[in-house]
Chain A
Amino acid sequence: MAEHIRVHLNGEDRDIPTGLTVRGLLESLELEPRLVVVERNREILSRVRYDDVVVGEGDTLELVHFVGGG
């Protein structure tokens, strides 16, 4: 198995370690899971699944959060 996989993360191609769970990915990016919403291949991931779901090759991920706005 390759050590890295290519994913599309927040609009950019990125290589990440194989076998990372969503939580693992967030932690590797130094993001707080409870402050981030994850959309994987256009499907919103419930936070309880962050430990179960493994990021796959070619996944399109959107990590979003609340910012200031009117």
Chain B
Amino acid sequence: MAKTRKRGGSAEAGRERAAELARRDAAAQRGPESGEVAKGGEAPPMGPTVPGGGVVREDAPVELRLHGKGVVQHPTTRVRRVSERPAPWADPALEMPPPSLRELEEEPLVIAGQAFRSRLIVGSGKYPDPTVMVAALRASGTEMVTVAVRRVDLARREGILNVLDPNEFFLLANTAGCFAAEEAIRYARLARAAGFNEWLKLEVIGDQETLLPDTQATLEAAHALTGEGFKVMAYTNDDLVTAMRLEDAGCVAVMPLASPIGSGLGVVNPYFIREIKRRLSVPVIVDAGVGTASDACITMENGVDGILMNTALAEADDPVAMARAMRYAVRAGRLAYRAGRMPAREIAVPSSPTRGMLN
């Protein structure tokens, strides 16, 4: 039962407050256990937003278990209402940036004039099963998904489009598995003939063991394909000169590797990644070698425009959870970069005042 506050205010105000709290309680009890989800700019929900949590009324006495005293009633303790602070893990719609940061945080990734709301591009290979893959892609918040081009297995017949909806994700076909320019060009044309778009992740490998790109063949294929109207996003190594040549060849994005494909080693050469970003005009998207969330965050902190990963999700114990972690990591890294980090120093500088110390 609602009680009027003892500390002051008119009796009528107290009754109104109690009535309002009672209404909120009733609403909370009606709502789902995990709470109601706020969308867009709506006010936070008044019902419970933490599973098992509830509304603790300000004027209700609180039971505290005090060490050495057992359970006591504490009428004057103000306990924060659980409902006022939505659980951060509850729903991405609740992670609204404050107005001052909204433009910054929502700045899209623009490639060849097309805007993408996520800076994370994800591959569709190697997942334990299709359901997990789709759940992971959605959890990652990605808008662009890479696919490969292969012969139809005439016994099994199923392809990725039996699982992936091209209306839900922008499909970026790759030339994975190609070791020569001519081969990559053939695969690119086949990919375009599928009829979805003219975009291409160009990948020409030079070494079976490390899967490092054959930069010469990549440049040759890039020239040919941009000439045929493809929007080429070129996978390359961390060599600045090759990156510049790929941009000169008309690629719409240049994608230097962090470390070898599937290695999970993270960024092994941040200095050159930064140099490439500094010198190029087209978007720079780090592709390959990302292993865990911190890798993604560090990559984005170097100022690159986006990041592409596959194995980091597919080979995580829980790909959906890792996809979610990557979503946060990419946003965090980008925001940290835009925030302008403090300089790293070789000396210590105190954080608390040096004046005002006691004698």
Chain A interface residues toward B at CB < 8 A: 9-11, 29-31, 34-37, 39, 44, 46-47, 62-70
Known pairs A37-B194, A64-B152; A69 contacts B147 (CB<8 A): yes
Say which residue of A34, A44, A62, A70 sits within 8 Å of B151 (CB atoms). Answer: A62
Closest to B149 in A: A64
What is the 8 Å Cβ interface bit string for chain B, positions 160-188, against chain A (1 contact, 0 not)?
11100000000101101000000000000
Chain B 206-225 per-residue mask, 1 if CB under 8 angstroms from chain A, else 0: 00000000000000000000
Interchain CB contact under 8 A, B174 and A67: no
Tell me which of B146, B149, B161, B174 contacts A35 (CB under 8 A). B161
**B154 contacts partner chain A, Cβ-Cβ < 8 Å:** yes
Whether the Cβ atoms of B146 and A39 lie closer than 8 Å is no
B147, A68: Cβ atoms closer than 8 Å: yes
Would you call B15 an interface residue if the criterion is a C-beta within 8 Å of the partner chain's C-beta atoms?
no
**Additional 10 contacts, C-beta under 8 A, given A69-B176, A70-B146:** A36-B152, A37-B194, A66-B194, A67-B125, A67-B159, A68-B125, A69-B147, A69-B310, A70-B125, A70-B174
Contact between B152 and A66, CB atoms less than 8 A apart = no
Say yes or no: A66 contacts B148, CB within 8 Å.
yes
Least Cβ distance of B311 to chain A in Å? 7
Determine if B292 is an interface residue (Cβ-Cβ < 8 Å).
no
Q: Tell me which residues across on chain B come within 8 A of A34, comparing CB atoms.
A: 195
Any A CB within 8 A of the CB of B333: no
Assess whether A67 is in contact with B195, with CB atoms less than 8 Å apart. no
Nearest-Cβ distance from residue B75 to partner chain A, whole angstroms? 61
**Set of chain A residues within 8 Å of B154, measured between Cβ atoms:** 9-10, 29, 63
Interface pair A65/B194, CB less than 8 Å apart = yes
0/1 interface trace, chain B 250-289, chain A, CB 8 Å (1 if under): 0000000000011000000000000000000000000010
Least CB distance from B96 to A in Å reads: 32
Number of interface residues of B (CB under 8 A): 36
Complex CA gap A66/B159 in Å reads 6
Query: Known contacts A37-B193, A46-B193: does B150 contact A64 (CB below 8 Å)?
Result: yes
With contacts A10-B151, A39-B190, A44-B193 taken as known, whether A66 is within 8 angstroms of B127 at the C-beta atoms is no
Contact of B161 among A30, A62, A66 (CB under 8 A): A66
Asked if residues A69 and B157 are in contact (CB atoms below 8 Å), the reply is no
In the complex, what's the smallest C-beta–C-beta distance from A52 to chain B, in angstroms?
16
**Any chain A CB within 8 A of the CB of B338?**
no
Q: Is the CB of A69 within 8 A of B151?
A: no
Q: Are A69 and B146 in contact (CB under 8 A)?
A: yes
What residue of chain B has the Cβ atom nearest to residue A14's Cβ? Answer: B154
B126 within 8 A of A: yes
Q: Is B189 an interface residue (CB 8 A)?
A: yes
Q: Report the minimal beta-carbon distance from A61 to chain B, rounded to whole angstroms.
A: 10
Q: Which residue of B lies closest to A66 (CB)?
A: B147
* B127 and chain A: residue at smallest CB distance: A68
B124 lies within 8 A of chain A by Cβ: yes
Known pairs A66-B171, A67-B159; A31 contacts B195 (CB<8 A): no
Instruction: Check if A63 sits within 8 Å of B151, measured CB to CB.
Output: yes
